[in-house]
Amino acid sequence: MKRMISIGLFGLLVGAASAATVPFTESFTNGASNWRNSLGTVDALWLSVGGADGAGHIREDFSFAASAPGDQPLLLRGQSNYNSSGGAFVGNWIGEGVTSFHMFVRTNTPVPVNFYARFAAPNGGPGAVALEFAPVLPNTWTEIVVPLDPSNPQFIYEGTNFNSVFSNVGRIQMGILAPSQLIGDPSVYSFDLDEVSIVPEPGTLGALLLAAAMLARRR
């Protein structure tokens, strides 16, 4: 079962730009694609089946035993310094025509959980966080959509602006807000990520190529 949530953004990015691949979808078909765990020390756990598309996906297991109210644990990392996805997400998203960022997430927690995507420059400078409006329901692949629109009323900048944020993306990170009901819970829960993508403007050649690729994968 899949569910889609459209979300707003808050945060910032800084650094020097390169060229992202647009459109691009990381499906984790053959492995973790150099995406790493919460600490960035080893590749994320890869599972060959059960993803949002029925195939591969990545996972981080996490316990809230040591969490405090308000914690926002970061769980999975796709970064230029790890060569995640072969650097396909690294670059000037504005100049390359990216209009939205998508990711499918899932958890087996007993309560709904708020996921977020964090963006930062290749040098790891200050970041931009995008939090979904509604919590993700347990055991349901849910598509989170981040519209890259400067008029988005939920943008909050940390001393910068839209152009500075999305002209130089080098790190994508997935995390959650610790649910108050699970604080101190020693159980280990799984947090899954799949189908991470950057999408071009509808009607462009890139958008048509993406639509054709998605259609071919469904056959």
Residue 57 pLDDT > 70, yes or no? yes
- pLDDT at 10 (0 to 100): 39
Residue 154 pLDDT > 70, yes or no? no
Residue 158 pLDDT > 90, yes or no? no
Determine which of 71-85, 162-176, 192-206 has the lowest per-residue pLDDT on average: 192-206
Residue 218 pLDDT > 50, yes or no? no
Mean pLDDT of the chain: 85
Contacts of 215 (CB under 8 A, 6+ apart): none
Contacts of 115 (CB under 8 A, 6+ apart): 105, 107, 131, 132, 136, 142, 144, 174, 175, 176
Do 109 and 177 contact (CB within 8 A), yes or no?
A: no
Q: Is 127 helix (H, G, I), strand (E, B) or coil?
A: coil
Average pLDDT over residues 66-85: 97
Residue 11 pLDDT > 70, yes or no? no
Average pLDDT over residues 91-109: 95
CATH of residue 101: 2.60.120.260
- pLDDT at 3 (0 to 100): 56
The total number of structural domains that make up the chain: 1
Average pLDDT over residues 53-61: 98
CB-CB neighbours of 182 under 10 Å: 18
pTM given for the model: 0.85
How many CA atoms lie less than 13 Å away from 75 in the CB half-sphere? 27
Domain of residue 30, residue span: 2-218
Nearest residue to 137 via CA among 154, 167, 115, 166: 115
Q: Which residue has the higher pLDDT, 104 or 219?
A: 104
